[in-house]
Amino acid sequence: MKRRDFLTAASATILPVMLDGFGLKAMSRQSALVQSLVGTTALASDRVLVIVYLNGGNDGLNTVIPLDQYSLYNGLRSNIAIPQNAVLGLDGNPATGLHPAMTGMRDLYNNGKLSIVHSVSYPNPDQSHYRATDIWMTAVDSSQTSSSGWAGRYLENRFPGYPTGYPNTQMEDPLAIQIGYLTSTALLGSQQSMGIALSDPNSFYQLVGSASATSPGDLPCCDAGDLIAYIRKQQALSVGYASEIKSAADAGQNLATYPTAGQNSLADQLKIVARLIHGGLKTKIYFVSLGGFDTHSGQVDSGDVTVGSHAALLGKLSSAVATFQQDLKLQGIEDKVVGMTFSEFGRRANSNNSKGTDHGIAAPMFVFGSSLKHRTIGHNPDLANLTGQAGNKDVTMQIDFRRVYTDILNDWFGTQHTTTNALLFHEFPTVSLFSDTVESVATGNWKDPNVWTVGRVPFANEYVKVNAGHTMTIDKTISVKNIRLEGKLLFTGPYSIQMTG
């Protein structure tokens, strides 16, 4: 009996295939699958996360366009729909396309450096900018609140006691940097921000100046005392970090050609980030943002729907991210950095009469970097089965955003799973961002996208793992690269699993 035929069954029986190790094909310790499973925390010490906030609620349906349902798409928003022939196609993914302004991110996708995570949201979504942003930044259930941010909690766990005693020899650099003037809720620890705000590394050192004598530490009572202590700490940190930032900025170099300064604020911010990382700053998290996505009105030009304010924003996003990625590649540090975009909500599937879109629910996230293992997580929203009343349809959630955070904390930063679960208040299933293996998350039919970590049926070129306790029903012949079976398979007929790898 050939191994590949082993999984074929003539009748509907449950095959108790419980092989230890790595499935039915012997794998050496050097195989990609093994490496992907054991190597997740390698190099974790110098890994960097870049968070890109798209402020205002990005219109997901005009960003990632469901070409497989074009007429439904056009019917929902004929006054702003991107013409089918203008949508950018994606390699190996005819169902989905990108907005015509996003050539840079299209190339990243085609090169395997961009993951599209479809229809991201959370249960009981909120449509207030403030509250929704808060939920994304604090990573809570929509019925809960938290005064600290998800990234801030991670940093506080990793660097206990901050800011007392920082900078120090173990961590001489800022834990997090927000390019700009204010620090975001995402970076808040239990007491204060775990990050610092930096607008321009060149002028920062000069502006801060050298340390002056420190006033005695007496504090008055009450809120005034708290505020004074806080301000003194900010003063000390700015002085303490100024020279480290200056040396990193002096040592780092941008090797890619960015858009002209002042034309694309996100590119300007990412340019600084790339330079600081290249200069050796050990900062773990960078936070950058691009505003203007609250497109209630006039998101497309009246003459040409492929241009207009939303196209300009997506163009900035795309060229900024693509240039940044190119810079990292030229600097030789591409494998150290991963980036993610988020926006507080998507927009209504139906457009309004002002060539705009009102607040909605789910929308795609982008994750970018050379370490990503799947270009597509989830699938196009099903436009025939949207939430809400006719004329006011919303995109339904597929992927909880905290699953993406979970992968970043566990697999990118190498955090212990129990710690990650505590930081995010729940355990969330992986979306296999950094693992080339697609895993089952529940018992069910193989064809059901919801039973897989990646929120879709595994592709023929992907490794698959059926987890212990899960039974997958198979009612057609399936191709995968390889399968690791810890659970069970239930064949309903004369079908098989073909292994391609």
Partner 1 sequence: MPYLDQYTTVLTTKTAAHLLRRATFGPTQSEITNFTGLTAAQAVQQLISNANYSPPPPVDLDSTKATAGQTYLDKPFNGDRNFDFGHYLRYWWLGLMTSQTTPPSLLDKLTLFWQNHFVTTREVVDDYRFVNQYLVLLRTNALGNFRTLVTKISKEPAMLRYLNGNENEVGKPNENYARELQELFTVGAVDFAGNKNYTEDDVKAAARVLTGWKYTNYWVVGSTSFATTFTLSKHDTANKIFSAKYSNTVITGRSTNPSATVTAGDAELDDLVSMLLAHPQTPRFICRKLYRWYVNPNVTQAIEDNVIIPLAQFLSSPTNNYAIQPVLVKLLTSQIFFDESNRGAIVKSPVELAVGAMRFFNQPVPNMTTDYAAFKTYFDFMFWRMRDMQMALVDQPSVFGYEPYYETGYSKIWLNTTTIALRSDYTDAYIWRWLQVKPDYKMGIDLLAWATSLQANFSDVTGTATISCVDVQAAFAKNLFATDLFPSQVDFLIDTIMMQGIPRSSWTFEWNAYRSAPTNTSKKNAVLYRLQNLMKYMLRMAEYHIF
The SS3 of residue 5 is: helix
Q: How far is the CB of 501 from partner 1 (least distance, A)?
A: 47
Q: Residue 90 in contact with residue 114, Cβ under 8 Å?
A: no
Phi and psi at residue 193, to the nearest 5°: -65, 140
Shortest gap between Cβ of 354 and partner 1 (angstroms)?
A: 4
Q: Which is nearer to partner 1, 363 or 497 (CB)?
A: 363
- For 55, the 3-state DSSP assignment is strand
Using CB under 8 A, pick the residue from 161, 223, 257, 385 that binds partner 1.
Answer: 223
Beta-bridge mates of residue 120: 363, 399
Among 220, 332, 469, 494, binds partner 1 (CB under 8 A): 220
Tokens of 108: 């990243």
Looking at the Cβ atoms of 112 and 209, the one nearer to partner 1 is 209
Within 20-59, the residues that bind partner 1 by CB under 8 A are 55-56
Task: Show the beta-strand stretches assigned E in 330-414.
Answer: 337-342, 363-368, 376-377, 399-400
Measured distance CA(211)–CA(35) in Å, rounded = 48
Selected from 213, 385, 390, 418, the binder of partner 1 by CB under 8 A is: 213
Closest C-alpha among 230, 233, 250, 243 to residue 204? 243
Q: Which amino acid is at 175?
A: L
Q: Is 228 or 330 the residue whose CB approaches partner 1 more closely?
A: 228
Cβ 129 to partner 1 shortest distance, Å: 7
Contact window for partner 1 (CB under 8 A) among 217-225, 403-411, 464-472, 484-492: 217-225
Closest approach of partner 1 to the CB of residue 112, in Å: 36
- Residue ranges with strand state E in 354-421: 363-368, 376-377, 399-400
Q: What SS3 class is residue 273? A: helix
Q: What are phi and psi of 491, to 5 degrees?
A: -95, 130
Are 448 and 475 a contacting pair, CB within 8 Å? Answer: no
Residue closer to partner 1 (CB basis): 56 or 66: 56
Phi first, then psi, for residue 369 (nearest 5°) are 150, 165
121 binds partner 1 (CB under 8 A): no
Q: Name the minimum Å distance from CB 170 to partner 1.
A: 20
Dist CA 161 CA 150 (whole Å): 17
- Assess 202 for contact with partner 1 (CB under 8 A): no
Report if residue 230 touches partner 1, rule: CB under 8 A: yes
Interface with partner 1, residue 297, by CB under 8 A: yes
Rounded least distance, CB 219 to partner 1, Å: 9
Task: With CB under 8 A as the rule, give the number of residues binding partner 1.
Answer: 57
- Does 185 help bind partner 1 (rule: CB under 8 A)? yes
Give the residues across from 367 on adjacent strands.
Answer: 115, 340
Using CB under 8 A as the criterion, which residues of the chain lie in contact with partner 1 when the complex forms? 55-56, 127-131, 134, 145, 147, 181-183, 185, 188, 192-193, 196-199, 204, 207-209, 212-213, 215-216, 218, 220-224, 227-232, 234-235, 237-238, 241, 291, 294, 296-297, 352-354, 356, 358-359, 392
